[in-house]
Structure 1
């Protein structure tokens, strides 16, 4: 062992802190002078930056968050240096003992040590002034008239069962930490109407200076989305390429006052940067926010929503459903017979606004016998008038079905329509049906199939095609969704091919089948018959 080297290292470890402490005393005056020099230099730069900030603000420009943060930290540190300097002045003539002229060495040590630390921190802050300009550029655009929200649609009524959801959305938008808020719910539940009413509310309360809305839809068209947002911002394109338009749109949103960008009907997570919408730190910096709607709950997560900014829009309560139906039908139910039939129709629509409005509009001018026929047809899952009564609802739900990529998930969804209305469907029974129909050909046991069942169910719930049940191990299918599924499976217009089999579900709900149905035009390898109430 090199004892000389060891002794030298040990001595260095012991002496370095000691020399530092001695330095605080020996170079007291130098350290105090360095503190004052750094403070003077930093204050001079802060003064220059403040002048630039005032000039930019007078032009209506938005000050960069980076600049505001730097000025705040610089002022705080300069004030800390000033307070220490005042303490140094107060202790300049202080002595350890009142009868002695000896300086107060302990006080000098503490003050010198603080001066070194604060001077070093001010030097770091001074070196961080590397931002380019103090403000964001302003794009020239036509004068802005009084802010307006997108026009509402349909017969919107602020139902009690909708007030809570609207308030949840407003609360999420008001939260400082939420830059993006999502509303998810099944097709036809009223998401578009909800966001337009939220838009009116935030404008009336002054939460945002502008509100713009763009519809995304299943097939994303970037130029169409960009045009919709640009129209709302009264922005004229200077570039024609999608990238150039995105850059111009981003600069406009960053430079403008607070904006609420509403993206309606998102099917999958989209790249906001390709559209030209700021996100992350940029979105937070410009104080604007994004509100979007989707049928798929998982899209809220992939788009960056937090737990308190992902809002589930549920179906209407029975009372609100009735009020919407009566208002949309636009007729007086002048007899108990009319009212009884109407309540049966409302019950079949199960709180789905789109279904309620569609049925009410179709039946509004019909006599009571037509209403009774409609009830019987709805009970049998056959539309009374396919062109007007059911197409709008079925199209909305079938779109969600068509968007399912896995044919096995599609087949699994169709199996669910074999159960009775409002039935709490057992996951175990679903697994048995699916195995019997050959969906899980690689699964040898029921337990092996249940893992796939859980995955399928989650996919369908996220797509708004199944509902969670209040009973463990079970799920539910909304009645209107079930009716649409039955139309898909039993119409013959769309026959499902899976593997080497051709499927057709001969589902005739409530018709009381007396014999096995026959299809003379086609030969199918397998039929599925649901015997819900065998006596």
Structure 2
């Protein structure tokens, strides 16, 4: 009898538990709604504390960031609290009640996790002042280190809020800033707790300057332009410690407080600015102290030069030739650096030829670039090994000043434009481009650019870019053109034709694209809307590519085409096609691009599949769509 009772009890108990889901249907529904409300209230409290922490430039802990993501996911995907099937649909009500109980338990777990962290963030570590990148050959220059100390002394004066540094292009202003930063941030007598680096340049507008500051403070700025300055100002005011903001390469006047949001009235907040023009710093920006960065003396130039060459000359004649070469660089570190690296390890015929060219060089009247710098950079270009390296160098001039150039993009462009000799596979082109880029970096004609991702980037010194553009225009083998970074709202008539081989158009401010243009030599076209906040993508007119019959590489970002684009005869020679955040009503006709070798499609919402006509692309070597390898080799 006891056994029978135990069996019956064991059978009834789980049945009763399952029936409980039906009996407690309304209670479970109400409990889920109540817990979701509690969760949203708790989330608002945590978000407020996160914003306060960011305002103090604190780093938000990974635990808090993950908790917020989990909460957002729980709230966003809530489909249980409002569903209410008929009382006769017992199976559905049973399922919902059971899921609601599980969801309530999950929410209670999230609430318990919330109680486990006391603080949402922590003070970000100070910059690593011991590892600030300052070239070793720069540190041997006593005049520059002495000037850096003078600038530090000026910044130490309580009444001085704005300090300026000016000098010609290539004289070493940016390197000097790094030395000053190292002096004011290290040691017990450091003047500042934090330094914020901002690259201004010719075309960066106020929004981009604010973004650079916001990124380094780890704060998210308002999406609209209105109120950004006051938001940034309020966050800087709340920050603890002394702050130095470095504005490098000013070309015009800015209202630091009203336009950008830099509160110089805050105790311990100061600005150090550089420009090629003393007038901009003293008259427009009203700096209280201003320092000139002068050219190096002959003695210092030679010392700088030899620190790079590192060679012992076995005859007085050879040494004198080298001294005269260094002298022709005009005491400019940029010129000395590139020439020394171009001639290092070369025989005396190269040195003698270099000296002759430097002495006989003719000024090219490039705004802001001295004749000495031009002659030095031109000579470094001529000493590059092979036509491939030279063409890749000139191609980089299509990008704007200080643009971070993805090396994988250079690979796609170089492969599509046939700049690489005897390269047939994607992997071979990757290796070749990396080798060429490293050669250009070693020659100081390209600079490594910092990156938060695994991707590698390079950039050009703005002076080097100016010279590269001039060389490209004169030689005619890689004429480049860049439009849109001066904030124009249309592609002006005077720039709708030419013999350019590569064009980069920043279309952020364009209202529309021209109906037709004439670029018979064009092989690379980059059309880019980089502003993610734009509601509608910029539309490409159907006849837009007429007059571009040699086009081989097309890179589109934020573009829209409502008519079949790929059937236009002007794209018959296309070998590389890249599309990011683009809208196309018809992708099926892509099979018309018979010569296509490289295809990249990323975040194009309307393109949810690759069409069957892909099989017609018999030359395709690699295709990449939204993080997945679709054909051949993944582009990475």
Q: Please indicate, yes or no, whether the TM-score normalized by the shorter chain is above 0.5.
A: no
- What TM-score comes out, normalization by structure 2 length? 0.38
Q: Considering Cα pairs closer than 8 Å and 6+ residues apart, tell me whether 1 or 2 has the greater RCO.
A: 1
The answer to which structure has the higher strand fraction is: 2
The answer to which structure has the higher helix fraction is: 1
